Amino acid sequence: MEVTGQEARFRAMFAEEAEGRLATLSELLLELERDGGDQELLSSIFREAHTLKGGAAVVGLSEVQRVAHAIEEVLQGVRSGSTPATPALVDALLGAVDGIRELIPAVLAGEDRDAEAGALVVGLQASLSETPPPAAADAPPVAVEPAPSPDPPPAVPPPGAAAPPPRRSRRKTIRLPTDRLDELVRLVGEASAAALRVGRLVSDQLGDEPASVPELHELTRALESLQERTLQARMVPFGTIAEPLRRASRDLARSLAKSVELELGGQETELDRGVLEQVADPLLHLVRNAIDHGIEPPEARVAAGKPAQGTVRVQAMQLGSEVIVTVADDGRGIDLERVRERAGAGGDSLDGVGDEEALYAIFRSGLSTAATVSDVSGRGVGLDVVRTSLAAVRGRVEVHSEPGAGSEFRLSVPITLAVLHCLLVEAAGRRFAIPMHSVVSAEAAGWTEDWVEGQVVIRVRDQILPVSDLAVTLDGAVPAEAPAGDRPAVVVASMTRRHAFRVDALLGQRNLVVKDLGRLLPRLSLLAGAALEPDGSILLVLDVSGLVDRARWIRSTGRPAGGPRAAPAEAPAGLPAPAGPPSVLVVDDTAVVRELERSILEEAGYRVRTARDGREALAALAGDPPDLVVTDVDMPNLDGLELTRSIRADRSLAGLPVVVVTSKAADADRRRAMDAGADAYLIKGDLDQRSLLEAVGRLLGLAVQVAGETRR
């Protein structure tokens, strides 16, 4: 079959991705042989094999698809417990992985490797028994080919001679861990903030405008250019993964004798390269799931009064610091009764669980509503891939389904490194940023407000819009006493509606590098991210959709969001005793982490000071010792472990509680910290607001309310 230029490009992309997946699959199989197979490990192996099979099907590599499916068949017996994970079985699986690694370049070169693929499948099937694989005339053993000669192969091979393996061509691209680019962008952002601080010092100490100093102006310009280039290096259009979906939908629909049209939208939407890679697999599984489970056969659609051709829509759009990708179909919808039945059969009954919550059971590993197991579905792997991939980028998924009308999956993933043009405003003495793409208009004063059906509204260009006070909407703070018409107002637009907000001041516009808030803060519906200010403080970026929803809820219920300076409703109660709030010293060399921890603790009522490394922390301890220390491990000058040892060696500080917060998750690192004298050890990757406040409160002997129970 002739391969077009576009198909060849997709096959090359698959081959590059498969290289990494096969390496991961080999490592997981070795772990299976070494430590045995728990369900989490087996699910991970299934996901890799299932994704490899799906990708091979998309680009038309049927030989690879057959072998990957055979791997799934073998693993099914291991997962069910009927087949032990013996070394011989693992050998067969590793041999199949090696076989796929050899098949891919050969098939891409146009060679017929159907017999070799058949031999691999027969070998895997034979591994389920103790007898060796039977010899088959149509499936000869795979021949071991000699290593390719360093000399270039002849342009035309001799008649009857086998074509030599293709030579590796020099790659035009290289793969880099996304955390390296993340670190590069972080350092550029901090360098830009440092340059702004230098400019402020020049203005304060010398009385000169920063722009009037040529060297400083050139430094600022170079840093802005560097920041723009580093961000561009990570941002790619959504369309780079959308096109392969067309082939997937076409091939699958034909194999199922269904008529399906795939509609793609928002292909120009850009998002982070690493995030996009994580979204690619979930989208592939959701499209295949929609065609297999959702879209009915043509005759069934016609009988239901629908067009014979079904439709699957994939749409991407940017909202704040997130990209929303929807996968919707006009099929039969999700059968909730079957979901409940399958969950119950798996020992996880959904009795007493509401329909909306029960719907999300489809993402559980091993749960499938398919009646039979096929090459496409039936093992409960596809939607587990969606859940796992989104969790890796702190994304989320929402599901809406209507029987007979179809289903919609809405994926929300962060653009962790996006630069947003924002409007800066002040409310209740604090500054906030609002993404400009959500701002309809802003006016300093002179707005006309009316009352309609007992609610305050504002008139904007012949439109009547609801208006709320931003400070009240955020946390119930008392608004300014100035007349409403004399205060600035900002009109914003969420996905479905518009709303006006009164603010105390408009502070101008600025490009911000918006960063994810991480696990230190729970996902708050009012916040889209945060940016680092020149003075090291945190500027919160508001999520317009959540802001509008909160404002409308307050207007409909007549209840404020909370009292003045109230803690967020999502925060656990962990307030110290009113008399003499304890003091905490936060030590971390990363400004964002340091400020987030400070904000969390101050919001809970603690008095907080910060230090950038262990040496600076020791100086602070000598002057005015706090009641507790929260410290990172890896820091310049003096790390967290040496800081902890110094505290324990000082008689006046020996009893000071120390909480270590680090990204090091190994047991050996934990033991070293405890041996140094740490009282608590928290992992940054698993850390959230609740666990931080609970650890601090416990060590200070304070009552912390968790899930309705008081712990000490």
Helix residue spans in 127-264 (DSSP H) = 178-201, 214-234, 239-255
One domain for residues 395 and 249: yes
Which range among 150-159, 405-414, 524-533 has the greatest average pLDDT? 405-414
pLDDT at 683 over 80: yes
pLDDT at 222 over 80: yes
> b/e map of 61-85 (b: 16 or more CB within 10 Å)?
bebbbbbbbbbbebbbebbeeebeb
200 in any annotated domain:
yes
Residue with tokens 């003499």: 580
Predicted pLDDT at 577: 35
| pLDDT band per the 50, 70, 90 thresholds, residue 553 | confident
What percent of the chain shows pLDDT beyond 70?
Answer: 72
Q: Taking the model in full, what pTM does it have? A: 0.44
132 in any annotated domain:
no
388 in any annotated domain:
yes
One domain for residues 459 and 404: no
One domain for residues 551 and 590: no
One domain for residues 688 and 676: yes
Does residue 304 or residue 703 have the better pLDDT? 304
- Sort strands 583-587 and 607-611 into parallel, antiparallel or unpaired: parallel
Residue with tokens 């009646």: 371
- Positive or negative: CA dihedral 340, 342, 345, 346: negative
Predicted pLDDT at 334: 87
Predicted pLDDT at 584: 94
Predicted pLDDT at 151: 42
Predicted pLDDT at 576: 36
pLDDT at 686 over 50: yes
CATH code, domain with 117 = 1.20.120.160
| pLDDT band per the 50, 70, 90 thresholds, residue 561 | very low
pLDDT at 106 over 80: yes
| pLDDT band per the 50, 70, 90 thresholds, residue 223 | confident
DSSP per-residue codes, 424-458? EEEETTEEEEEEGGGEEEEESS---EEEETTEEEE
CATH code, domain with 308 = 3.30.565.10
- 298-302, 479-483, 583-587, 591-595: the lowest-pLDDT one: 479-483
Does residue 254 or residue 463 have the better pLDDT? 254
One domain for residues 383 and 254: yes
Predicted pLDDT at 494: 67
| pLDDT band per the 50, 70, 90 thresholds, residue 298 | very high
- 78-87, 95-104, 386-395, 588-597: the lowest-pLDDT one: 386-395
**Overall domain count for the chain:** 5
Does residue 204 or residue 155 have the better pLDDT? 204
Contacts of 286 (CB under 8 A, 6+ apart): 327, 382, 383, 386, 409
| pLDDT band per the 50, 70, 90 thresholds, residue 516 | low
Which range among 268-282, 403-417, 671-685 has the greatest average pLDDT? 671-685
Q: Where are the beta strands (DSSP E) in 345-438?
A: 396-402, 406-414, 419-427, 430-435
151 in any annotated domain:
no
Integer-rounded Cα radius of gyration of the chain:
30
The mean predicted confidence, pLDDT, of the chain is: 75
One domain for residues 424 and 401: no
Please check whether residue 295 is in contact with residue 258, taking contact to mean a CB–CB distance below 8 angstroms: yes
What does the pLDDT look like over 437-465, one tens digit per residue? 778 888 776 666 666 555 677 776 666 78
Does residue 163 or residue 91 have the better pLDDT? 91
| pLDDT band per the 50, 70, 90 thresholds, residue 408 | very high
Predicted pLDDT at 644: 93
Residue with tokens 């991210």: 529
| pLDDT band per the 50, 70, 90 thresholds, residue 578 | very low
Q: How far is 412 from 597, CA to CA, in rounded Å?
A: 26
**Average pLDDT estimate for 229-233:** 76
Domain boundary pick from 88, 103, 126 = 126
- 133-142, 300-309, 335-344, 374-383: the lowest-pLDDT one: 133-142
| pLDDT band per the 50, 70, 90 thresholds, residue 582 | confident
Q: In what order do the strands lie in the sheet with 260-265?
A: 260-265, 310-319, 322-329, 406-414, 396-402
pLDDT at 130 over 70: no
- 47-51, 330-334, 536-540: the lowest-pLDDT one: 536-540
Give the residue numbers spanning the domain of 438. Answer: 419-557
**Average pLDDT estimate for 78-93:** 82
One domain for residues 248 and 397: yes
Predicted pLDDT at 311: 94
One domain for residues 195 and 265: no
One domain for residues 443 and 549: yes
Amino acid at 433: A
Does residue 523 or residue 279 have the better pLDDT? 279
313 in any annotated domain:
yes
One domain for residues 608 and 670: yes
- 131-145, 186-200, 297-311, 390-404: the lowest-pLDDT one: 131-145
- Tell me, what DSSP letter sits at residue 466? E
Predicted pLDDT at 322: 75
Predicted pLDDT at 255: 86
Predicted pLDDT at 383: 75
Predicted pLDDT at 447: 64
Predicted pLDDT at 137: 39
| pLDDT band per the 50, 70, 90 thresholds, residue 175 | low
- 9-18, 298-307, 432-441: the lowest-pLDDT one: 9-18
171 in any annotated domain:
no
pLDDT at 161 over 80: no
CATH code, domain with 541 = 2.30.30.40
285 in any annotated domain:
yes
Domain boundary pick from 354, 379, 411 = 411
**Average pLDDT estimate for 319-324:** 76
492: which 2 tokens? Answer: 């914003």
DSSP per-residue codes, 166-179? PPPPPPS-----HH
**Average pLDDT estimate for 179-200:** 76
| pLDDT band per the 50, 70, 90 thresholds, residue 647 | very high
Q: How far is 510 from 424, CA to CA, in rounded Å?
A: 7
146 in any annotated domain:
no
One domain for residues 647 and 553: no
Domain boundary pick from 126, 142, 159 = 126
| pLDDT band per the 50, 70, 90 thresholds, residue 652 | confident
Give the residue among 47, 50, 96, 88 at the shortest CA–CA distance from 69: 50
Predicted pLDDT at 712: 32
What does the pLDDT look like over 588-631, one tens digit per residue? 887 667 877 888 888 888 889 999 899 999 999 987 889 999 99
What percent of the chain shows pLDDT beyond 90?
Answer: 12
One domain for residues 522 and 624: no
pLDDT at 575 over 60: no
Please check whether residue 526 is in contact with residue 549, taking contact to mean a CB–CB distance below 8 angstroms: no
pLDDT at 378 over 60: no
